[in-house]
Chain A
Amino acid sequence: MRARTRSSRRVVVLATVATMGAGLLAGCADDGGGKASDDSSSGGGKGKTTITMGLFGTMGFKEAGLYTEYEKLNPNIKIAENVIERNENYYPALVNHLTTNSGLQDVQAVEVANIAEVTATQGAKLQDMSKVSGVNKSNWLDWKWSQATTKDSKTVALGTDVGPMALCYRTDLFQQAGLPTDPTEVGKLWAGDWNKFITVGEQYKKKAPKGTFFMDSPGGLLNAVLSSEKEKFYDSSGEVIYKSNPAVKAAFDLTGKAAEQGLVQAQTQFQPAWDTTIANSKFATIACPPWMLGTLKGKSKPDSLGKWAVAVAPKSGNWGGSFLAVPSSGKNVKEAEKLVAWLTAPEQQAKLFKVQGSFPSTPSAYTMPEVTGAKNEMTGDLNIGTIFAEAAKAAPVQVIGAKDQIIQQGLTDNGVILVTKGKSLEEAWNTATKTIDNNLDK
């Protein structure tokens, strides 16, 4: 009897060990096929194909009702999205999934800051979207299309939205400082030259309402100036030139001087303290793609509704925007391609703009009523759609590089911000370049 108990106990133990071992192996196993498992095996069960979308932040397809619309048009399709809040968390995971070919969704979103790296290093693992039926290169802004196109002209992702950059300003603060408030007149003040923008800042400062600054942050100004350049950190052959490019040094110096003069707040964008300065109406201007109006609205107190206006920037640029790519290893590649082509078509982009404020990357949408009639609570009666459309068309075809984000972050967070804290311009530049060079060194 004793022996039997023992052996049966041993069976239990062995079973436990085996189960745990199996669990371990399962844990290591490829989970690429696991996504949305049951329905995705097309033709099985209900006969529906589930297309999974890997997104970050709030891209708004669902909010704009586009999934429901597509599912109605294609009754055999079901769309599921898998959203990660922050791109900093989303992107490393995406790279890992692409390099290991596992864990990928049928459609993956890519932010413009990462598109150069994805295009250059992961292009082979993504579908060529230019060959999908219904996709027409001429629909998109040239620069948007070329950002996701490899050297051997394979387009690995289609543009969703862009961030044509204008300048938003507080009409009440401008008035108190004795500056014009009409968007056209304000635009004329600094047309064509960022130095003129600084001059306006100096004028503002002379009669500025107490405790307010001309602009929100050094990072915002540096970014705005750099976005309007044709070349910033890389040249067209893909070489890193940020240190020798006079445009970059000029932008850095301009921002640094603005910081020395106290024209910009000593703040870092999108940090809680910066948010508070929006709520407390502490600054008069901010570089402003359409989505920034949403940020302003989210952080403002109700009394600043309608007090903002939008003027054309000294030089137009682009800030933000995303792409949709289809990994070749997916289960529903063909269906996913069709969905992406549909989602990025001008009509859908216009609908997305209306609901989400994501500005279309397809110029034909700019004449659609959703854009031409666009108004925003922050800017009252101002017709903002046309101003942003102008900016989108005027933005340069900028050379973007794989490590743009690291370089710009270095120039901002380890650079110009230091000037606001009392360091000299030269010290700030040296700290920034030393950090960046170390970060770029493989």
Chain B
Amino acid sequence: MATHDTAAPPTKEGGAAPGRPPADPTGAERRRARLSRRWQRDMRWSPYAFVSPFFLLFLAFGLFPLIYTGWASLHQVEMTAPTDMEWVGLRNYTRIFDDDFFWNAAKNTLTIGIISTVPQLLMAMGLAHILNYKLRGSTFYRVMMLAPYATSIAAASLVFVLLFGRDYGMINWALDFVGIDPVDWQSDKWPSQFAVSTIVIWRWTGYNALIYLAAMQAIPQDLYESAALDGASRWKQFLHVTLPSLRPTILFTVVVSTIGATQVFGEPLLFDANKGASGGSEHQFQTLGLYLYEQGWVNQHLGRASAIAWTMFLILIVVGIVNYVISRRLRASS
């Protein structure tokens, strides 16, 4: 500790504060003041430094591409000469209105989204409910649930392509056993969409089940006990205790799955028997993500692809708002 030594020799900058109160501030005090100023600056600016890496990365890899894509969408740009941009205004957007392929892809995205999301969440709920009971080796089951999620889309899709093969696929082979004619899983519309959805369902059910399970375990046990005392059956308990408590979690998974469903890409890309990006011979399972990829990277029309990307972005915002409104309604009603 610094002592209050009045006889201390003036420091170099000693004359800087002539009008100060009689006790000339000592070096120690000044240092303390300086440290305290530093401390304040530290308090004020350090948090920004801490969060800055994220924002720098976001700026470089999120915001800039987003805005640049918007800029590119107003031009005719080819991948063979990306700097050679020709201004076309909103043409890339207006043409989307009568682009059959875009709307076909939008419809497919919606139907594949529904076929994959609804069963997926229902199954996840059921699985979570079962896993919530005391089971032998429950950790093992929980890890197993997550295994599909940890598998790469490419590997999973390639295996499913083999399973769903028309001539030599295992599923048609099994159908043959029960006397059903082989299905052309890749070239018929609904079978192909069903098959693509199966890959999505397989991959994401476990993930959602774990989220539900976590939420279920947070439900206080006494709610179940009192319900049981009131004579509620297991099923009634599920309906009247579990489901209401899970409402926010269900909303969360619905939002996340909806976003995921609008972005389905890898599964239909790899499911295509032609190894192209057209989503089947008649575009029967081409999703928006795939159409965007086809325009940009196969056909090399970066301007058109950018406009599709932005349109998808706007659609997602609309979906997000709808989700928000519905969730507010639900919350208000509870």
Q: Is A368 an interface residue (CB 8 A)?
A: no
Q: Is the CB of A21 within 8 A of B56?
A: yes
Q: How far is the CB of B149 from chain A (nearest CB, A)?
A: 26
Q: How far is the CB of B298 from chain A (nearest CB, A)?
A: 7
The contact of B79 among A92, A268, A276, A441, by CB within 8 Å, is A92
What's the Cα separation between A409 and B273 when bound, in Å?
Answer: 13
Find chain B residues with CB under 8 A from A24 CB: 56-57, 60
What's the Cα separation between A414 and B35 when bound, in Å?
Answer: 73
Given contacts A99-B79, A272-B162, A413-B274, contact A439 B56 (CB under 8 A): no
The contact of A17 among B49, B187, B298, by CB within 8 Å, is B49
Find chain A residues with CB under 8 A from B168 CB: 272-273, 276
- Those of B161-188 within 8 Å (CB) of chain A: 161-162, 165-168, 184, 187
Q: Is B9 an interface residue (CB 8 A)?
A: no
- Those of A168-209 within 8 Å (CB) of chain B: none
Q: How far is the CB of B176 from chain A (nearest CB, A)?
A: 16
Find chain B residues with CB under 8 A from A417 CB: 187, 274, 281
Q: Is the CB of B273 within 8 A of A271?
A: yes
Q: Is B301 an interface residue (CB 8 A)?
A: yes
Closest to B80 in A: A121
Find chain A residues with CB under 8 A from B53 CB: 16-17, 20-21
Q: Is A96 an interface residue (CB 8 A)?
A: yes
Q: Is the CB of B165 within 8 A of A99?
A: no
- Those of A93-132 within 8 Å (CB) of chain B: 95-96, 99-100, 117, 121-122
What's the Cα separation between A435 and B297 when bound, in Å?
Answer: 16
- Those of A60-116 within 8 Å (CB) of chain B: 88, 92, 95-96, 99-100
Find chain A residues with CB under 8 A from B184 CB: 421
Kindly supply a per-residue 1/0 record for chain A positions 418-429, scoring 1 wherever the CB is within 8 Å of any chain B CB and 0 otherwise.
Answer: 100100000000
- Those of B66-108 within 8 Å (CB) of chain A: 76, 78-83, 99-101
Q: How far is the CB of B175 from chain A (nearest CB, A)?
A: 16
What's the Cα separation between A36 and B258 when bound, in Å?
Answer: 45
What's the Cα separation between A271 and B283 when bound, in Å?
Answer: 18
Find chain B residues with CB under 8 A from A121 CB: 80-81
Q: How far is the CB of A331 from chain B (nearest CB, A)?
A: 23
Q: Is the CB of B52 within 8 A of A17?
A: yes
Q: How far is the CB of B53 from chain A (nearest CB, A)?
A: 5
- Those of A223-269 within 8 Å (CB) of chain B: 268
Q: How far is the CB of A439 from chain B (nearest CB, A)?
A: 5
What's the Cα separation between A277 and B76 when bound, in Å?
Answer: 44
Given contacts A6-B39, A95-B79, A272-B161, contact A413 B281 (CB under 8 A): yes
Q: How far is the CB of A257 from chain B (nearest CB, A)?
A: 18
Q: Is the CB of A418 within 8 A of B60?
A: no
Q: Is the CB of A13 within 8 A of B299?
A: no
Given contacts A10-B42, A406-B298, contact A28 B79 (CB under 8 A): no
Number of interface residues of B (CB under 8 A): 47
Given contacts A20-B53, A95-B80, A268-B273, contact A273 B165 (CB under 8 A): yes
Q: Is B275 an interface residue (CB 8 A)?
A: yes
Kindly supply a per-residue 1/0 record for chain B positions 35-75, scoring 1 wherever the CB is within 8 Å of any chain A CB and 0 otherwise.
Answer: 10011001000100110110011001000000000000000
What's the Cα separation between A270 and B42 when bound, in Å?
Answer: 63
Given contacts A406-B299, A439-B298, contact A413 B282 (CB under 8 A): no
What's the Cα separation between A418 and B273 when bound, in Å?
Answer: 13
Q: Is the CB of B80 within 8 A of A99?
A: yes
Q: Is A46 an interface residue (CB 8 A)?
A: no
What's the Cα separation between A99 and B162 when bound, in Å?
Answer: 38
Q: Is the CB of B278 within 8 A of A421?
A: no
Find chain B residues with CB under 8 A from A434 CB: 100
Closest to A122 in B: B80
Given contacts A99-B80, A99-B83, contact A409 B49 (CB under 8 A): no
Q: How far is the CB of B165 from chain A (nearest CB, A)?
A: 6
Q: Is the CB of A13 within 8 A of B50?
A: yes
- Those of A1-37 within 8 Å (CB) of chain B: 3, 6-7, 10, 13-14, 16-17, 20-21, 24, 28
- Those of B125-174 within 8 Å (CB) of chain A: 161-162, 165-168
Q: Is B294 an interface residue (CB 8 A)?
A: yes
Find chain B residues with CB under 8 A from A117 CB: 80
Q: Is A42 an interface residue (CB 8 A)?
A: no
What's the Cα separation between A10 and B81 when bound, in Å?
Answer: 46
Q: Is the CB of A414 within 8 A of B42?
A: no
| Most-contacted residue by chain B among A16, A270, A435 (CB, 10 A) | A435
Q: Is the CB of B299 within 8 A of A421?
A: no
Q: Is B203 an interface residue (CB 8 A)?
A: no
What's the Cα separation between A277 and B53 when bound, in Å?
Answer: 55
Given contacts A24-B57, A409-B276, contact A10 B80 (CB under 8 A): no
Q: Is B268 an interface residue (CB 8 A)?
A: no
The contact of B38 among A3, A92, A406, by CB within 8 Å, is A3
Q: Is B113 an interface residue (CB 8 A)?
A: no
Q: Is A138 an interface residue (CB 8 A)?
A: no
Q: Is B206 an interface residue (CB 8 A)?
A: no
Find chain A residues with CB under 8 A from B78 CB: 442
- Those of A113-170 within 8 Å (CB) of chain B: 117, 121-122
What's the Cα separation between A418 and B99 when bound, in Å?
Answer: 22
What's the Cα separation between A96 and B283 when bound, in Å?
Answer: 27
Find chain A residues with CB under 8 A from B273 CB: 268, 271, 273
Find chain B residues with CB under 8 A from A95 CB: 79-80, 300
Q: Is the CB of A272 within 8 A of B282?
A: no
Find chain A residues with CB under 8 A from B60 CB: 24, 28
The contact of A14 among B49, B99, B274, B275, by CB within 8 Å, is B49
Closest to B101 in A: A438
Q: How far is the CB of B146 from chain A (nearest CB, A)?
A: 29
What's the Cα separation between A10 and B53 when bound, in Å?
Answer: 15
What's the Cα separation between A99 and B304 when bound, in Å?
Answer: 19
Closest to A86 in B: B275
Given contacts A3-B35, A99-B82, contact A435 B42 (CB under 8 A): no
Q: How far is the CB of A415 from chain B (nearest CB, A)?
A: 8
Q: Is the CB of B281 within 8 A of A418?
A: yes
What's the Cα separation between A13 and B166 when bound, in Å?
Answer: 58
Find chain B residues with CB under 8 A from A418 CB: 281-282
Find chain A residues with CB under 8 A from B289 CB: none
What's the Cα separation between A70 and B147 when bound, in Å?
Answer: 49
Given contacts A95-B80, A99-B81, A442-B76, contact A270 B275 (CB under 8 A): yes
Given contacts A24-B60, A413-B274, A414-B282, contact A13 B79 (CB under 8 A): no
What's the Cα separation between A387 and B281 when bound, in Å?
Answer: 36
What's the Cα separation between A334 and B169 when bound, in Å?
Answer: 53
Write 15 A-B pairs (CB below 8 A) sorted by A numbering: A13-B50, A17-B53, A88-B275, A95-B79, A99-B80, A272-B165, A273-B167, A406-B298, A409-B276, A413-B274, A417-B281, A431-B282, A435-B278, A438-B99, A442-B303
6 more CB-based (< 8 A) A-B contacts, given A268-B273, A440-B299: A10-B42, A20-B53, A99-B79, A270-B275, A276-B168, A412-B274
The 6 nearest A-B residue pairs measured at CB: A413-B274, A121-B80, A3-B35, A439-B299, A20-B53, A273-B167
